[in-house]
Chain A
Amino acid sequence: MNDLRDLYQEVILDHNKSPHNYREMAHPSRMALGHNPLCGDRLRLYVALEGDRIADVTFQGSGCAISKASASLMTDAVKGKTLAEAEALYGKFHDLLTGPPDVKVTGEGLGKLAVFSGVREFPARVKCATLAWHTLESAIKNVPEVAKTE
């Protein structure tokens, strides 16, 4: 059960139960849909931009605990950041999820996002944790089609 506890940390379970920024946005600058056909997860992401800064970001949708908590923590993490800063953060987050299991992760610079370090022991769940980020990427790039995890 230990690696399960690493995966389903309290913070993740809390954000799954009561996700932050979980609401529709009336007039978003950008909007994107995320879909993981393997699990049926669906996510709608709203972004309000002020220049190249993410003034507000919210989401709605259904998904597993990992994808929902990831979306929730992502919105907290990128709010107020510039697009370049958000992209850099995604890079770090991605490394956290996909790094070799024998290398210790520090989670440096990731803040609360470090709670997803347990995901690397569950390769099948990496896509759950990255769905919101993929969707953010397509919102930023204003890609019209649905963001997919594969």
Chain B
Amino acid sequence: MNVEKIREQFPILAQKVHGQRLVYLDNANTTQKPRAVIDADRKYYEETNANIHRGTHFLSEKATAEYEDARAKVARFLGARASREVVFTRGTTEAINLVAAGFAQSVLKEGDEILLTGLEHHSNIVPWQLACGRTGAKLVVVPITDSGEVPVEEFEKRLTPRTKIAAVSHVSNALGTINPVEEFIRLAHARSVPVLVDGAQAAPHLPIDVAALGCDFYAVSGHKMYGPTGIGALYGTEAWLEKLPPYQGGGDMISSVTFEKTTYNELPWKFEAGTANIAGGIGFGVAVDWLSAVGLPAVAAHEHTLLVRATEALSAIEGLRIVGTAPRKAAVVSFLLGDVHPHDIGTILDREGIAIRTGQHCAQPVMDHYGIGATARASFGVYNTEEEVNVLAAALKKVQEVFG
């Protein structure tokens, strides 16, 4: 993999920030977009724009074909058996809300349990809390260890006859931990418990094969996969998607409507009410093709090198503590630097042209586990370089200079 050739495809990386070369290390937050994705967006609006699945004219048919072609691309990328198992959503958050709302309506009863891990992003906690509020079900949380791992035996212990679904992150956004989701799925399925995997942080970094994993649901966000914002996907097995009720009502999700009765559209359109983010869907398709062309195994290997290098370089800085030290991690380094608050670190790095995230990373329970309010987080993507790791390490020394 030639990183320089990849970087050339990302126009935004060529710019300077505060007079410094941009070093973008906020990829777990959102990734930058390659020219192919940006061009697809413009091309759609210049040459194709029309509403899909309705209308008999040339452009409408063209837009429909491109949108459904994008769905097929995403289905292939995730390893789904068929396109009808892929629902386009606004992102991972909406995908999880769709499943949680469906479970609240047709599965959950008072006293039922929803199993989560202590690593979850707020978007894999709050939708389930809403479902609990509507049904009287309750959340059961698998605690994490101090290295930021979810022990398989702790997960197993909390599977009970009342467990109706397990919702687990594949990769932790706050710490980078790669969860043993294969084990979670095996154990849950042994007790007939379905599993939703929040794949927002995994899909851009690891080869994903939902059929091989055997999960019941897998949620991803386009914008974390070098695609547009406002588009994502929910993979669901056909059996589950058939079973769940529609998420929203409206146009496109129906086959027939009278005031007495409505028949819902078939999969996946049953879950896609209203005019879709058509350009976003098409751009998402281009993004997954782009990622596949680079090759997920190559991406994973490159990012692992960056993770190892960053872990070494940052650990060598006096007073720096890495939070989240699981042996299996994606290229995310969450850290604290002496008494300096992460927000101050973020401001000083920004003036050096370095973009990181600081705060609780939408994962307050993770921060609470460590008894801290926030961390600074550098997260790497396909276009980052070892040189950028060095720039980060040097800038952290400047932070120490400012704070004496």
Which of B342, B351, B359, B367 is close to A4, meaning CB atoms less than 8 Å apart?
B351
Q: Provided the pairs A40-B373, A40-B374, A42-B373 are in contact, do residues A65 and B360 lie with their beta carbons within 8 angstroms?
A: no
User: Is the Cβ of A37 less than 8 Å from the Cβ of B402?
Assistant: no
Contacts of B402 in A (CB 8 A): 4, 8, 13
Q: How far is the CB of B125 from chain A (nearest CB, A)?
A: 14
Which of A3, A40, A42, A63 is close to B351, meaning CB atoms less than 8 Å apart?
A3
Q: Provided the pairs A4-B348, A39-B374, A40-B373 are in contact, do residues A64 and B360 lie with their beta carbons within 8 angstroms?
A: no
Q: How far is the CB of B77 from chain A (nearest CB, A)?
A: 33
A41 at the interface (CB under 8 A from B): yes
B341 at the interface (CB under 8 A from A): yes
- By CB atoms of chain A within 10 A, which of B348, B364, B374 has the most? B374
Contacts of B153 in A (CB 8 A): none
Secondary structure at the A interface, as helix, strand, loop or mixed, is: mixed
B347 at the interface (CB under 8 A from A): yes
User: Is the Cβ of A13 less than 8 Å from the Cβ of B403?
Assistant: yes
A62 at the interface (CB under 8 A from B): yes
Q: Provided the pairs A8-B402, A62-B373 are in contact, do residues A39 and B347 lie with their beta carbons within 8 angstroms?
A: no
Number of residues of chain B lying within 8 A (CB) of chain A: 20
Q: How far is the CB of B398 from chain A (nearest CB, A)?
A: 8
B358 at the interface (CB under 8 A from A): yes
Which of A7, A37, A38 is close to B347, meaning CB atoms less than 8 Å apart?
A7
- Complex CA distance for A122 and B349, rounded to whole angstroms: 13
Question: Beta-carbon contacts of B336-362 to A below 8 Å, as 1s and 0s?
Answer: 000011111001100100000011100
B327 at the interface (CB under 8 A from A): no
- Complex CA distance for A39 and B344, rounded to whole angstroms: 10
- Complex CA distance for A42 and B341, rounded to whole angstroms: 12
A66 at the interface (CB under 8 A from B): yes
- Complex CA distance for A63 and B372, rounded to whole angstroms: 10
Q: Provided the pairs A8-B402, A128-B343 are in contact, do residues A39 and B358 lie with their beta carbons within 8 angstroms?
A: yes
Q: How far is the CB of A132 from chain B (nearest CB, A)?
A: 15
Give chain A interface residues in 90-125, CB to chain B under 8 Å. Answer: 122, 124-125
Question: Beta-carbon contacts of B131-143 to A below 8 Å, as 1s and 0s?
Answer: 0000000000000
User: Is the Cβ of B341 less than 8 Å from the Cβ of A63?
Assistant: yes
- Complex CA distance for A64 and B343, rounded to whole angstroms: 6
User: Is the Cβ of B373 less than 8 Å from the Cβ of A125?
Assistant: no
A1 at the interface (CB under 8 A from B): yes
Contacts of A39 in B (CB 8 A): 341-343, 358-360, 373-374
Which residues of B pack against A, CB within 8 Å? 340-344, 347-348, 351, 358-360, 364, 367, 372-374, 398, 402-404
Starting from the known contacts A40-B372, A65-B340, A65-B344, 10 additional A-B residue pairs (CB-CB under 8 Å) come to: A4-B351, A8-B403, A38-B359, A39-B374, A40-B367, A41-B341, A64-B341, A64-B344, A66-B343, A66-B344
Which residues of A pack against B, CB within 8 Å? 1, 3-4, 7-8, 13, 37-42, 62-66, 68, 122, 124-125, 128
- Sample of 16 A–B contacts (CB below 8 Å): A4-B402, A8-B344, A13-B403, A37-B364, A38-B359, A39-B358, A39-B359, A39-B360, A39-B374, A62-B341, A64-B344, A65-B340, A65-B403, A66-B343, A68-B341, A125-B347
Closest 8 CB pairs of A and B: A40-B373, A64-B341, A40-B374, A64-B343, A40-B360, A39-B343, A65-B344, A64-B344
